[in-house]
């Protein structure tokens, strides 16, 4: 069942529409992500922020509205509390079924034709107005090419039973953590039904695999500065260039001035020494309405999985290759 609550509208100006999809595990994190979005905005940037969340995450409404209105009274919040239609979908790598909620957006937001989806584990560092203006006519979405494209990672994944369905995506496989969705085109192509059908499959990268499979030939590519994966190091970006995935200028931009840092992998609120995690903590600790949401001392004490946990991960990774 769907419940919508609208908190103000923005008239007389073009509004950037953004959506976060999450469950009760990311209520605090989405507040930090939205706050950074607003703090990084240009003077003419205003937002209509949609939150598509499980009913258990509905408690985010009041504190998130305060986060938004404190930073920009002209921006608005729209919450959609839903019973996750993909609650029984395949889960792996400690990623919950909440990630599949973005696949429901074409139906949940029938009045919206274009929207910027972002994972809750992002830190926005500059205006996203240029990203919002990316031409997507005739395209289902725009996103950044992901680390899966690197030759060794592609080879590692190639043993998966379904990977042949992605063979044409080598060099163009996207990381879906930041995605400009052309919902009008998605509806025109009838992709929603296919997405729903595929959520029953055991795909290692879950809904990200689904988007890459079904949107082939209808993807525009964003500069990597708009989804700078935190776990990647300089040497990884050098490989992106030598393998022809990014240009030298794109690499330089992503390393020197990322517009969005995406903490895929280790999370700074769990592990303080996460690569680029200091940027996230410096930002959160400077915000009176955010700093008490996270336990910095606990994050500083944690230095990664124990030997036992690493062994379990290796076993899961091994069996993941067979799915």
Is the pLDDT confidence value at 306 over 90? no
Q: Tens of pLDDT along 119-151?
A: 999 999 999 999 999 999 999 999 999 999 999
Residue 84's closest CA among 107, 52, 60? 52
Residue that the structure tokens 């994190």 belong to: 29
The mean per-residue pLDDT over the stretch 292-310 comes to 77
Phi, psi torsion values for 302, nearest 5 degrees: -90, 125
Q: Tens of pLDDT along 42-53?
A: 999 999 999 999
Per-residue confidence at 93, pLDDT binned at 50, 70, 90? Answer: very low
CATH 3.40.50.300 fits 3-296, yes or no: no
pTM, full prediction:
0.89
The pLDDT value given to residue 318:
54
Whether residue 100 contacts residue 178, with contact meaning beta carbons closer than 8 Å, is answered with no
Count of all residues that appear for the chain in the document? 323
Both tokens of 107, joined, read 């139906």
Whether residue 138 contacts residue 178, with contact meaning beta carbons closer than 8 Å, is answered with no
Residue 209 to residue 202: CA distance in whole angstroms: 10
Is the pLDDT confidence value at 217 over 50? yes
Mean pLDDT of the chain: 89
Q: Tens of pLDDT along 229-278?
A: 999 999 999 999 999 999 999 999 999 999 999 999 899 999 999 999 99
Per-residue confidence at 94, pLDDT binned at 50, 70, 90? Answer: very low
The pLDDT value given to residue 302:
87
* Residue-wise DSSP of 247-294: -HHHHHHHHHS-SEEE--SS-TTT-TTSTTHHHHHHHHHT-TTTGGGS
Q: Tens of pLDDT along 53-68?
A: 989 999 999 999 999 9
């Amino acid at each position: 069942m769907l419940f919508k609550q609208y908190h103000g509208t923005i008239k007389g100006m073009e509004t950037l529409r953004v959506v976060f999809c999450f469950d009760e595990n990311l209520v605090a994190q989405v507040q930090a992500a939205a706050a950074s979005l607003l703090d990084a905005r240009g003077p003419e940037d205003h937002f209509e922020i949609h939150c598509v969340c499980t009913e258990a995450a509905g408690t985010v409404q009041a504190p998130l509205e305060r986060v938004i209105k404190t930073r920009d009274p002209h921006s608005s919040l729209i919450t959609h509390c839903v019973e996750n239609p993909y609650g029984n979908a395949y889960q792996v790598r400690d990623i919950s079924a909440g990630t599949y909620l973005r696949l429901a957006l074409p139906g949940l937001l029938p009045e919206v034709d274009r929207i910027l989806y972002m994972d809750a584990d992002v830190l926005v560092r500059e205006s996203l107005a240029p990203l919002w203006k990316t031409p997507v006519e005739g395209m289902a979405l725009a996103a950044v090419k992901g680390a899966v494209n690197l030759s060794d990672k592609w080879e590692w994944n190639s043993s998966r039973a379904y990977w042949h369905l992605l063979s044409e995506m080598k060099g163009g496989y996207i990381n879906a953590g930041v995605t400009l969705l052309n919902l009008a085109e998605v509806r025109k192509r009838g992709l929603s039904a296919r997405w729903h059908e595929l959520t029953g499959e055991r795909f290692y990268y879950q809904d990200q695999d689904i988007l890459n499979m079904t949107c082939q030939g209808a993807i525009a590519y964003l500069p990597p500065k708009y989804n700078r994966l935190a776990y990647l190091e300089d040497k990884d970006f050098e490989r992106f260039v030598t393998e022809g995935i990014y240009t030298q200028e794109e690499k330089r931009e992503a390393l020197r001035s990322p517009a969005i840092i995406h903490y895929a992998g280790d999370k700074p609120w769990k592990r303080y020494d996460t690569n680029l995690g200091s940027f996230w903590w410096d930002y959160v600790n400077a915000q009176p309405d955010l700093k008490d949401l996270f336990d910095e001392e606990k994050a500083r004490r944690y230095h990664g999985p124990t030997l036992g946990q690493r062994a379990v991960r290796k076993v899961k990774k091994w069996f993941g290759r067979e799915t």
